[in-house]
Structure 1
Amino acid sequence: MDKRFKHTLVAFKICPYCMKVLTIMCHKNIKFEIKFIEMSNKPDWFLKLSPLERVPILIIGEEVVLFESAAIMEYIDEITPPKLMSEDPMQKALDRAKFEYSNEIIKNLYQFIFCLEQEKFIKLKEWLIKHFKQMDDWLKDKKYMNGTELSLVDFNFVPVFVVLNMLKPILPCDMLKDYKRLQNYGDSLTSMSCSKTGRVPDYEFLMMDGIKNKNTVLFRSNPCYFNGPKPSRCCFFGK
């Protein structure tokens, strides 16, 4: 491979924004190397490269650094035909707005998962249920956000359903129970092989340990689940 176009992804193992990028890279069969960092102990070389000191970043060759998951995903889509992003200006704008919507969903979902306060936990749950309704409304009679075929916007929502499926045994309620279309959409996304190969080693274990170690509301509501036998180990990510 020409070193000018070598791709190195820098990621944090349980970051959902990294999962978005990993999923589309796996779907598009991009060859890449990966470097994992700990966000609680960011290395100096990373701080020099990442303008916002956040993951993911994609290093292209030895000089170019892309940051922010949406920019990286669009770049990956552009260089690997057929493109998943619409060429229509209106649809492209609508999709980019939904990229941002997915980021808000993910941000609040992770705050919900790692919440320490019962009152805030309840408010976040209500916020999520309300905004899941909007997603359900967008789907209408469609399999994916833009119709019967996958588009780039769909990959932005993969982490949402990966996390919801993983936490189903311990969530206080099924937040999607009134949204059948959204349930079917989530099933379609999580059944894709790239939504499995895009997860890092021991993702589930790392998430569960984090929920337990922080003494979150979720952990306190069902400590027996966390202290019982662990589910089978998964190491989908083979890069």
Structure 2
Amino acid sequence: MDKRFKHTLVAHKICPYCMKVLTVMRHKNVKFEIKFIETHNKPEWFLRISPLGSVPILIIGEEIVLSESAVIMEYIDEITPPKLMPDDPLEKAIDRAKFEFSNEIIRNLYSFIFSTEQEKFVRQKEWLMKHFKWIEEWLKDKKYINGNELSLVDLSFVPLFVALNMLKSTLPCDMLKDFKRLKMYGEMITSLPCVKTGRVPDYEFLMIDGIKSQNTVLYRSNPCYFNNGVKPQGCCLFRN
């Protein structure tokens, strides 16, 4: 590969926004290298090149740095046809609005998962249930959010369903039980090959370790489940 166009993704192992980018790169069969960092101990070289000090960032060649998951996803989509984003300006703008929605709903889901306060936990759950209705409506009479073909919008929601599937056995209730279309959609999305290989093999272990170590409401409500441990599943992308 021409070094000018070499792709290096800098990520954190359980960051949902990094998972979005990894999923797209796997779906598009992009060749890339990956560097993992710890967000609580960011290396100096990373802080020098990341404008906001956040992941993911994509280093192209040796000088160009892209930040923000949606920007990186669109770039990958543009350079690897067929594109998953529409060409029509209005449709593209609507999709970008849905990217922002997915970021917000995923941010609130992680806040819910790692909440240590019962009141905040309940409040976040109510917020999520309210906003699930929007996705349920988008899926009306459609296989995917935008129709019968997979789009970049669908891949932007991947971390939502990966996290919900991981917590099926411990959530105080089935959060998707009243959203039949959304539940079926989530099962279909998480079965895609790019979703299975677009996350680190120890994702579940690291998430559960974080839930336990922070003494979250989820952990306190069901410590037996979390103390049984979860074995990470294999992932061809990250095997040594």
Q: Structure 1-normalised TM-score?
A: 0.98
| Structure 1 residues 148-163: aligned runs within 5 Å | 148-163=148-163
- Structure 1 CA distance for aligned equivalents of residues 149 and 184 of structure 2: 14
Distance 2:178 2:66 in 1: 39
Structure 1 residue 233: Cα displacement: 2.8
- Per-residue deviation, residues 43-98 of structure 1 (Å, max 9, x unmatched): 00000010000000000000100000000000000000000000111111110000
Secondary structure of 1:147 counterpart: coil
Instruction: Tell me what 1:234 maps to.
Output: 233
Task: Report the Cα offset of residue 237 of structure 1.
Answer: 4.8
Q: Kindly, what percent of the aligned residue pairs are identical?
A: 73
Q: Distance in 2 between matches of 1:45 and 1:237?
A: 28
Residue identity in the other structure for 1:184: M
Give the aligned partner of residue 6 of structure 1: 6
Q: Which runs of 5+ in 2 are unaligned?
A: none
Gaps of 5+ in 1: none
CA distance 1:235–1:99, change in 2 (3 Å): same
Deviation at 1:157, TM superposition (A): 0.2
Q: Give the Cα–Cα distance (whole angstroms) in 2 for the partners of residues 174 and 237 of structure 1.
A: 31
- Structure 1 residues 146, 219: CA separation in 2 closer, same or farther (over 3 Å shift)? same
Distance in 2, Cα, partners of 1:164 & 1:201: 17
Quick one: which amino acid aligns to residue 108 of structure 1?
A: N
Q: Given that residues 203 and 232 in structure 2 are in contact (C-alpha distance below 8 angstroms), is that contact kept between their aligned partners in structure 1?
A: no
* C-alpha distance in structure 2 between counterparts of 1:5 and 1:72, whole Å: 14
Q: Deviations along 1:147-186, whole A, 9 cap, x unmatched?
A: 1110111110000000000000000111111111101111
Runs of 4+ in structure 1 off by over 4 angstroms are none
Taking the aligned partners of 1:199 and 1:46, their CA distance within structure 2 comes to: 21
| Comparing 172-181 and 70-79, the one that deviates more | 172-181
**What RMSD in Å do the two structures reach over aligned CA positions?**
0.8
Match of 1:166 in 2: 166
SS of the residue corresponding to residue 87 of structure 1 reads coil
TM-score, length of structure 2 as denominator length = 0.98
Q: Which residue in the other structure is 1:129 paired with?
A: 129
- Does the alignment pair 1:181 with 2:181? yes
